[in-house]
Amino acid sequence: MTARGRGRPPAGGKAVLPESILSEALSILNADGLDGLSMRALATRVGINPMTIYHHFKDRDGLIKSLAEWVYADVAAPETGDAHARARSLLTAYYAKVVLYPALTLAIFARPAVFPDHAMRITRELMIFLSEGNHSSQRSLRWTHILVDYTHGAALAVATQDGSIGRPPRGAMLDDFESGLDELLEAFRRSSDHPSV
């Protein structure tokens, strides 16, 4: 007699990797938004029993958080370079992910409980870069929020244009974002810790 694995077997006995489930979930989220992403719809699309999804991800919040961790895992700054260049690279990489997967970003905004660890890591790294050069932690935090909000706004604006969902940013759209980001980073560098600035 062989030991059975935990959870219900997939429909038709087909084994499915969690990454395959995440890939299909991301497709549904991009096409149909958060309301269209149900465990039943996902299970039908993947061809498995809905309980298999619950086994891997517990519930829909767990699925969304896992999606975010999977998507944002490779968003990173170069390991070397000055703080300005590293912050720019980090935010540009994050911008590209938001443009590709806007519905995921909106799902995270709608459900703060699923805020991914990688998003916290990205925010922490940005704040560290901004703290270099004897900038106060209060000013670095304020500018971290400004830069992240700018990145979200610019990416979501691009992503909602016809035909842009699921396509990486390029050309004039990317140039516009990077130009604005450079101006903001330069304004941060020139600003002081005076409350009125």
Residues 55 and 139 in one domain: no
Residue 34 phi/psi, 5° resolution? -60, -40
Contact 164, 59 (CB under 8 A): no
Residue 5 lies in a domain: no
Question: Does 44 map to a domain?
Answer: yes
Query: Is residue 7 domain-resident?
Result: no
**Same domain? 24 vs 95:** no
User: Are residues 80 and 18 both part of a single domain?
Assistant: no
Per-residue pLDDT band at 99 (split at 50, 70, 90): very high
Burial class of residue 53, CB neighbours in 10 A (0-12, 13-18, 19+)? buried
Same domain, 83 and 175: yes
* Cα dihedral 124/101/30/116 (nearest 10): -10
Angle at 72 (CA atoms; ends 81, 91), nearest 5 degrees: 40
Q: Are residues 154 and 178 in the same domain?
A: yes
Q: Are residues 91 and 49 in the same domain?
A: no
What HEC string does 5-62 produce?
CCCCCCHHHCCCCHHHHHHHHHHHHHHHHHHHCCHHHHHHHHCCCHHHHHHHHCCHHH
- Is residue 179 assigned to a domain? yes
**Residue span of the structural domain in which 42 resides:** 14-59
**Are 33 and 127 contained in the same domain?**
no
CATH number, domain of 124, equals: 1.10.357.10
99 vs 164: CA distance, rounded Å: 8
In a domain, 19, yes or no: yes
- pLDDT tens for residues 44-95? 999 999 999 999 999 999 999 999 999 999 999 999 999 999 999 999 999 9
Residue at 65 is within a domain: no
Cα–Cα distance, 125 to 127 (Å, whole number): 5
Q: Is the pLDDT of residue 5 over 50?
A: no
Same-domain pairing of 46 and 128: no
pTM, to two decimals: 0.84
Q: Are residues 78 and 123 in the same domain?
A: yes
Least confident of 2-6, 61-65, 137-141: 2-6
Q: Are 108 and 98 in contact (CB under 8 A)?
A: no
Determine if residue 130 is left, alpha or beta; phi over 0 gives left, psi from -120 to 50 gives alpha, anything else beta.
alpha
Same domain, 113 and 140: yes
In a domain? residue 167: yes
